[in-house]
């Protein structure tokens, strides 16, 4: 894929249109015109619009999971908390870099469809595993109940997807590469502060109870 600029151009055009008009509101001709290619070329490469969607999503998630795995490897010598923070930064950075496709995918994931079920069986299960393992490893120093940790993990997952589900809430505030970098840094810091609060508050409470 990376060695074929024409296919990449089609993916970028489709991502933009799916984000703006939705999958069903976008035609193959729309994509071809946006990418400045012949309609027949899309059929040749992707076997139609559904094939293009599957290809784009597969490419997105494979690169996403590779990014997550690389992040955990790069920070494996650090503390569990720093490992988790590094993972969070890599997740938000990747999703922001692929903003339109991220928004489209998360919007589709909010619906009960074949698309959702297929993603859940494959990529989402692995994403959940990586995030859950990093989070549980970071909070193990505390004494939260198993249910408490599940609630906290659910909150973390919510923070990781909120900008791409509620993108209309802040889209006018993020314009240009510099603005996007600022958003990544500030939003990631917000999540990092939440992690520090959750973990350190729990440790402090347990210390007080033990006195």
Q: How far apart are CA 81 and CA 87, in angstroms?
A: 10
Q: Are 188 and 88 in contact (CB under 8 A)?
A: yes
Which of 9-18, 42-51, 79-88, 163-172 bottoms out in mean pLDDT, i.e. has the lowest? 163-172
pLDDT of 28 > 60? The answer is yes
DSSP 111: S
pLDDT digits (tens, 9 = 90+) for 123-160: 988 999 999 999 999 988 666 677 788 999 999 999 99
Query: Which residues, in sequence order, are CB contacts of 165 under 8 Å at separation 6+?
Result: 103, 106, 107, 110
Tokens coding 63? 């690169």
Per domain, the residue ranges of the chain are 1-47, 56-210
What average pLDDT is seen over the chain?
Answer: 85
Greater confidence (169 vs 173) lies with 169
Band of residue 172 on the pLDDT scale cut at 50, 70, 90: low
Q: Are 36 and 10 in contact (CB under 8 A)?
A: no
Greater confidence (24 vs 208) lies with 24
Which of 22-36, 54-68, 110-124 bottoms out in mean pLDDT, i.e. has the lowest? 110-124
pLDDT digits (tens, 9 = 90+) for 66-78: 999 999 999 888 9
DSSP 48: S
Tell me what pLDDT residue 200 has: 78
Q: What's the CATH superfamily of 1-47?
A: Homeodomain-like (1.10.10.60)
pLDDT of 202 > 70? The answer is no
Would you call 188 helix, strand, or coil by DSSP? helix
Band of residue 166 on the pLDDT scale cut at 50, 70, 90: confident
Tell me what pLDDT residue 95 has: 95
CATH tag for 56-210 (out of 3.40.50.10440, 1.10.357.10, 3.40.640.10, 3.30.428.10): 1.10.357.10
């Amino acid at each position: 894929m990376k060695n074929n600029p024409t296919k990449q151009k089609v993916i970028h055009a489709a991502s933009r249109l799916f984000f703006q008009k939705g999958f069903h509101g976008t035609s193959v001709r729309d994509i071809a015109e946006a990418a400045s290619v012949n309609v027949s070329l899309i059929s040749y490469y992707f076997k139609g619009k559904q094939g293009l969607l599957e290809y784009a999503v597969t490419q997105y998630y494979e690169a996403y999971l590779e990014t997550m795995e690389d992040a955990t490897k790069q920070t494996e010598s650090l503390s569990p908390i720093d490992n988790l923070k590094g993972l969070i930064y890599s997740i938000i950075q990747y999703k922001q870099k692929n903003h339109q496709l991220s928004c489209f995918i998360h919007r589709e994931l909010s619906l009960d469809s074949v698309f959702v079920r297929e993603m859940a069986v494959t990529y989402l299960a692995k994403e959940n595993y990586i995030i859950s393992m990093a989070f549980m490893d970071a909070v193990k120093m505390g004494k939260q109940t198993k249910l408490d940790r599940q609630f906290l993990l659910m909150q973390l997952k919510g923070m990781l997807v909120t900008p791409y589900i509620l993108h209309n809430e802040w889209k006018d505030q993020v314009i240009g590469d510099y603005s996007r970098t600022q958003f990544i840094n500030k939003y990631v810091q917000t999540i990092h502060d939440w992690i520090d609060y959750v973990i350190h508050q729990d440790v402090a409470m347990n210390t007080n109870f033990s006195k």
